[in-house]
């Protein structure tokens, strides 16, 4: 089993690249953003709680997302590996993920960290807002809040995995195909 984390700030292209990586390698895609948006679409109590936080650019509580990931992993016992997209977003989530993988006798193979400058991130989110229908994309104040939360709560996750030598920085500016080639080169070297 080979598991990887696609890491990066909001709008760095994690969701975009995940789709292509799944098509190439057959990983099971676990995106906490997608799982939360499905809860919102189904108007579940969890979705209602998540929506108000997401619309403010805040993170959803650790216990909620860890519970979702735990359930999704248990529902997929026989996969060649998981691609975690947008998760973990806090060090507490990273520690919980390591514990869940350890129960399966597995671990994270690599953390691929997309590097994209802030002005490019804002411009991508502004563009995505035109078609995504995502209420958390619509407002530049919210986008800036998401970037602040990323720097404060999520960037330390890269530090956490760095201590185990698992983080590889990937230049995240360029065409989607160019970035995909950079990602696959790193995966192929390790698989
Ligand atoms: P996510 O759904 O994870 O979304 P994201 O970080 O905004 O975007 P991503 O990096 O996937 O960018 P994309 O490919 O779309 O999170 C949404 C919210 O959910 C969070 O703010 C939080 O509230 C909550 N949440 C999720 N997970 C959580 C967790 N674990 N804990 C707590 N809360 C959690 O790309 C962006 C745009 O750029 C797209 O329009 C795309 O077309 C474009 N693009 C992509 N690659 C490009 C390229 N190479 N050049 C130009 N444009 C490009």
pLDDT digits (tens, 9 = 90+) for 107-149: 999 999 999 999 999 999 989 999 988 888 888 899 999 999 9
How many angstroms separate the alpha carbon of residue 45 from the centre of ligand 1? 23
Cis peptide before 13 (omega within 30 of 0): no
Q: What share of the chain is helix, strand, coil (3-state, %, to 5)?
A: 60, 15, 30
Paired residues of 85 in beta bridges: 6, 31
The answer as to whether 187 is a domain residue is no
How many angstroms separate the alpha carbon of residue 144 from the centre of ligand 1? 13
The answer as to whether 152 is a domain residue is yes
pLDDT value of residue 149: 97
The answer as to whether 34 is a domain residue is yes
The answer as to whether 157 is a domain residue is yes
The answer as to whether 188 is a domain residue is no
CA angle 61/66/72 to nearest 5° reads 135
Query: Domain containing 98 — which CATH number?
Result: 3.40.50.300
Please give the tally of structural domains in the chain.
Answer: 1
Q: Which of 111, 117, 127, 105 is nearest to 147 (CA)?
A: 117
pLDDT digits (tens, 9 = 90+) for 146-171: 999 999 999 999 999 999 999 999 99
> Among the atoms of ligand 1, which is closest to the Cα of residue 18?
14
Indicate which residues carry an active-site annotation.
Answer: 14, 89, 128, 134, 146
Sheet holding 108-115, edge to edge: 28-31, 82-85, 3-7, 108-115, 167-171
The model scores a pTM over 0.85: yes
The answer as to whether 190 is a domain residue is no
CA angle 176/140/12 to nearest 5° reads 20
Determine which residue's CA is closest to atom 7 belonging to ligand 1.
10
Residue ranges making up the domain that contains 63? 3-181
- The mean predicted confidence, pLDDT, of the chain is 95
Mean pLDDT of 40-63: 96
């Amino acid at each position: 089993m080979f598991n990887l984390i696609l890491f990066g700030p909001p709008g760095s292209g994690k969701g975009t690249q995940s789709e292509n990586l799944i098509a190439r390698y057959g990983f099971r895609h676990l995106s906490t953003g997608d799982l939360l948006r499905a809860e919102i679409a189904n108007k579940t109590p969890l979705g209602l709680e998540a929506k108000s936080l997401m619309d403010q650019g805040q993170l959803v509580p650790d216990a909620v997302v860890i519970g979702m990931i735990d359930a999704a992993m248990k529902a997929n016992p026989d996969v060649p590996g998981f691609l975690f997209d947008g998760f973990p977003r806090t060090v507490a989530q990273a520690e919980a993920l390591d514990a869940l993988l350890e129960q399966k006798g597995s671990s994270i193979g690599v953390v691929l960290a997309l590097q994209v400058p802030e002005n490019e991130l804002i411009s991508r989110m502004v563009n995505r807002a035109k078609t995504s229908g995502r209420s958390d994309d619509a407002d530049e104040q919210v986008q800036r809040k998401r970037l602040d939360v990323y720097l404060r709560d999520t960037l330390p996750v890269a530090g956490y995995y760095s201590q185990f030598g698992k983080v590889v920085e990937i230049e995240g500016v360029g065409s989607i195909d160019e970035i995909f080639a950079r990602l696959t080169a790193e995966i192929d070297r390790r698989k």
